[in-house]
Amino acid sequence: MVRRILAPMTRGIATRTLATPQLVLQPFRRRDVSSLAEAVEVSNDDLVRWLPWAHRGYGRADAVGFIRESMTAWRDGRAYDFSIRSVDDPDRHLGNISVWPTNRTGLIGEMGYWVRSDETGKGIASQAGARMVQLAFEDLGMHRVVMRIAVGNEASERVAVKLGFAREGLLRQEVKVAGEWLDHSAWGILRTEFETEKPRYQAQGWLRPA
């Protein structure tokens, strides 16, 4: 997840927990420091390949800084970060998912996420992603949501396809990670496309029935 914030949207949302059939998405609070740091630690071999904020020494101080900034960004309407938790084990941090505005006039936002390495391949990203896309369009009033995915991160590209995002192009040397500039694929979904995809999201068990 690489966050690039340009401007807040005119519409914001209150701090609240979101739910899917199997997951709970919670705004970050100070009590999440230990569980966040632990999840990053067990996932670092994967995270450092794709994300510029990840590093081998990531620990409690980094988690404190992220959570403090997350809470401020939410109040300012700059970004909405959620901790992914299981309904059955709400104390275990499964990953992060966020949506943030990038263009107020165009009603465009961006989504990013990561899932801890020992929980990948279980559909967590698809389910959390479906709920975040719903939030972006139905609560934040966005017209378009984009994702940027490092080339080679095939698991994340599969999630984009499952959610109905269209691959729109290549962003050359878009983000510097561990001293190397990485190309990123660009993906997007429109509000009208989400409205078409929403029944499929529900049929897949990603969203609760209306």
pLDDT for res 11: 60
Residue 61's SS3 state is helix
Are 110 and 4 in contact by the 8 Å Cβ rule? The answer is yes
pLDDT in tens, 150-193: 999 999 999 999 999 999 999 999 999 999 999 999 999 999 99
Query: In this structure, is residue 112 part of a structural domain?
Result: yes
The answer to whether residue 179 is domain-embedded is yes
pLDDT at position 7 is 47
pLDDT in tens, 7-52: 444 467 878 899 999 999 999 999 999 999 999 999 999 999 999 9
User: Would you say residue 122 lies in a domain?
Assistant: yes
pTM of the model: 0.92
Question: Is 12 inside any structural domain?
Answer: no
What's the total number of domains in the chain? 1
> In whole angstroms, what is the distance from residue 198 CA to residue 72 CA?
31
Whether residue 4 is predicted with pLDDT greater than 90 in this model: the reply is no
Here the CATH number for the domain that contains residue 56 is 3.40.630.30
**What region does 121 belong to: left with phi over 0, alpha with psi -120 to 50, or beta?**
left
pLDDT of residue 15: 80
pLDDT in tens, 68-117: 999 999 999 999 999 999 999 999 999 999 999 999 899 999 999 999 99
- For residue 35, is it within any domain? yes
Question: Is there a domain that residue 84 lies in?
Answer: yes
What is d(CA 161, CA 167) in angstroms, rounded to the nearest whole number?
8
User: Across the chain, how many H-helices and E-strands are there?
Assistant: 5, 8
Nearest residue to 110 (alpha-carbon basis) of 169, 176, 187, 164? 187
DSSP summary character for residue 138: I
Average pLDDT, the chain: 93
What pLDDT was estimated at residue 13?
Answer: 82
pLDDT band at 122; cut points 50, 70, 90: very high
- Domain range spanning residue 195? 18-203
Distance of alpha carbon 47 from alpha carbon 1, whole angstroms: 9
Give the pairing type, strands 95-103 and 108-115.
antiparallel
CA–CA distance, 125 with 105 (Å, rounded to integer): 29
Phi, psi of 143 (to 5 degrees): -95, -30
Residue 1 pLDDT:
53
Element (H, E) at 86: strand 80-86
Structure tokens at 52: 């510029």
Tokens 């509000």 belong to which residue?
A: 191
**Has residue 9 been placed in a domain?**
no
Q: Residue 67 falls within a domain, yes or no?
A: yes
